[in-house]
Chains A and B, each alone.
Chain A
Amino acid sequence: MKAKVYVTLKKGVLDPQGKAVGSALKSLGYNEVKNLRIGKFMEIEFDGSSKQNAEKRLKEMCEKLLANTVIEDYRVEIE
C-alpha cells in the first residue's frame, strides 16, 4: 500500500522560511501572493491490506516521529 503524509506548521507558529519564499515570489512580480507556508510531504510504501489498520498505524507513525505535534499538524492520505 501507499500513503501520502503532509506535515504542516500549526496556525500561529511562525514560518520564517515560508515568509522569505513568499517575499521572493513578490519580488519576482507575483504581487498577488499574500501568504506562503512551507510544509513537508512524505510518501510511504508499506505492507498491509486493511485500510483501517493502515490508518491506525500511520497515525502512530505521525504522532511518534513524523510530526512534532507541539508545532505541527499532519494529514494522511492512503491510496
Chain B
Amino acid sequence: MIDRPHPRSAKLFTIDADGRMRHLPRTELAMLFSPGDVVIANDAATLPASLRGRHVASGQPIEVRLAAWVSVRDPTRFVAIAFGAGDHRTRTEHRPPPPLLSPGDHLSLGPLDAAVEHLLDHPRLLALRFIGSREAVLTGLARHGRPIQYAHVREPLALWNVWTRIAADPIAFEPPSAGFALDWRTLAAWRQRGIGFATLAHAAGLSSTGAVALDQRLPFDEPYRLPERTAAAIKRAKLERGRIVAIGTTVVRALESAANADGSVRAGDGVASGRIAHGASLRVVDAILSGVHQPGESHYELLRSFADDAALDRIAAALAEHGYRAHEFGDSVLIERQPRVPRQ
C-alpha cells in the first residue's frame, strides 16, 4: 500500500537517443526538449467507472467497472467487467467472480438501473445498458460512480485525484496517468521556450481486469479524436525536424493509429485497436513520457517499440536502483526512441 506522493516531489528518469541516462526531479520536465519539438498529450477526463450495487435476481452484491464504449459519448451503453463481493482493497486477481448473469438480468447500481444486454466470451465480461435518458444516466454516474480504485493506493480516490490538470472531455475509464506529470507551469515554460503543445482525446480503457485471459486482450479498442490543429502541429514539426513527444501510451496508440506512411497523421475520429509492441515501427512518435511499468503489462509492451529488450533491462535496473515508484501516481520515465529500433 502506498500513499500518493505529491506530484511536485516526483522523479523523472530520461534516456536520450544516444542511450545517455539521467535522473531528474520531475519539475525539470519544463526544461527538457528543444524549440520546434511538439508535445502531444491526452486531455480526456476520467469517468467514475466503478459502480457498486446488487444483482436483482440473486440479491448478490456486484461491482461493475465500465471498460469500453459501445458508441463513444453515449453513456447508456458500455462493455463492462463484473466482480463479486469485496472491494478494491482485494487485488483484482483475487476478487470472486460475479453472480451468474444472464441476458436480460437487471443490476441495481445506486440510483441506476442497468440491464445485461448480452454476455461476452468471458464470465466477467458483459454488454450493459442503463435504463433512462442519456442525461439521467450521466447524472446517476456522476453521483453514484467512483473512479476505479487501486489495491495499492491507501486512500479512496475521488475524481479530484484522477482528473489530470488538462482533463476536458470525460471519455476515459482510467486516467491517462502519464498526464499527471503535466501542470500549467510546465506548459507555460514550454510555450516560452518555443516548444509546441497540442492534445488529442483518447478514451483510455481499463489497464487490468484481474483475469489473465482478459488482460492478454487489453487494451480494448479505444476511440480517439485528433483535432486538425494537432495534425497541423505534427506536420509542421516533421517538416522542421522537430521531435514528437507523446505523453503516455494512449497518445502513442492514437497517433500511430492515425499515421500515414509519410509520418503525417489524419485528423478526426478514429479507433486504436490492438497492441503496439516489439517489432512494430513507429511512424510518428519520437519519444514517450510514461509511468514506470512492469514487463507483461500492455503499457510495457508498447515501450518495446521505443527500445530493445537490452535497453529496457538497463532502464529497469536503473529505476530499481534509484527507487522509482511504479504505479499510476508514481514517477515518470522519458524514453527517446533508440536508433537500434527500426523505423519505417
The answer to whether A and B come from one shared complex is no
